Amino acid sequence: MGKVRVHNFTITLDGFGAGPNQRLEEPFGDGVEHLHDWMDPLFEGTATGLDAEVGLDRDAFGATIMGRNMFGPIRGEWPDESWKGWWGDNPPYHHDTFVLTHHPRPDLEMEGGTTFHFTSEPIEVVLERAREAAGEKDVIVAGGAATVRQYLQAGLIDQLDIAVAPLLAGAGEPLFAGLGDALRQYRVVEQRSSPAVTHVRIVRR
């Protein structure tokens, strides 16, 4: 059985994974326009040094879990089923992807092997479904910050690889807020810096 991981989740120096007022025009909210600049070379295949070493690691993952807000900007009841995510007809996941939502809708099969499953089941149940789908590969908890917090609170993340960008947001979606004693289950085992970000690895004790 593979691990449950958070991979290349980028936060600001003050701990926010997104800014306030997330919307269609600004998916990551205000004040964090350059949060993911370090990842552009990864997708373009031009990354070098430590950032290239960290990589996208797509082949290691067999299933993804994400929150409703990461899937799209629509809140509340779905007005229809026309919204199919930010990624076009061929999303980058290429495996079963579970979307946590209070408003389930039918499964959505996309090109390239991605199937979005919309579920209101408890996070533990969703994780078991993702593990089954992933087989021997890892499950990635992709985000957003609230979804990662839920799994951290429950002690279900095995490894968390975050990138800390030299930005201050001041407000938005905090990654570690309110976790309290839950963070005692984890320890920092590695910290390395590239010219763009600081890569930190956190593992469960």
- Whether 63 has a pLDDT exceeding 90, the answer reads yes
Mean predicted confidence (pLDDT) in 25-42: 94
- Predicted confidence (pLDDT) per residue in 81-137, tens digit: 999 999 999 999 999 999 999 999 999 999 999 999 999 999 999 999 999 999 999
CATH of the domain at 124: 3.40.430.10
Any residues with CB less than 8 A from the CB of 13 and at least 6 apart, and which? 164, 165, 166, 167, 168
- Band the pLDDT of 1: cuts 50, 70, 90: confident
Domain membership of residue 54 (yes or no) is yes
Q: Does the residue 25 lie in any domain?
A: yes
Cα–Cα distance for residue pair 63/69, rounded to 1 Å: 18
Q: Which residues pair with 4 in a beta bridge?
A: 139
Q: Is the pLDDT of residue 56 over 90?
A: no
| 202 close to 175: Cβ distance less than 8 angstroms | no
Examine residue 182 and state whether it is found in any structural domain, yes or no: yes
pLDDT digits 0-9 by tens, 159-192:
999 999 999 999 999 999 999 999 999 999 999 9
Distance CA 202, CA 152 (A): 11
Contact 153, 179 (CB under 8 A): yes
Provide the pLDDT confidence category of residue 60 given band limits of 50, 70 and 90: very high
Beta bridge partners of 173: 18
Chain segment 138-155, per-residue pLDDT in tens:
999 999 999 999 999 999
Residue 78 lies in a domain: no
CA 12 – CA 166 distance, rounded (Å): 6
Q: What angle do CA 71, 73, 76 make, to 5 degrees?
A: 95
Tell me if 75 sits within 8 A of 81, measured CB to CB: no
* Any domain includes 79: no
Q: Structurally, how many domains does the chain consist of?
A: 1
- The span from the CA of 45 to the CA of 15, in Å, is 28
Q: How far apart are CA 142 and CA 124, in angstroms?
A: 16
pLDDT value for 186: 97
Can you give the residue range of the structural domain that contains 176?
4-72+89-204
Does residue 57 lie in a domain region?
yes
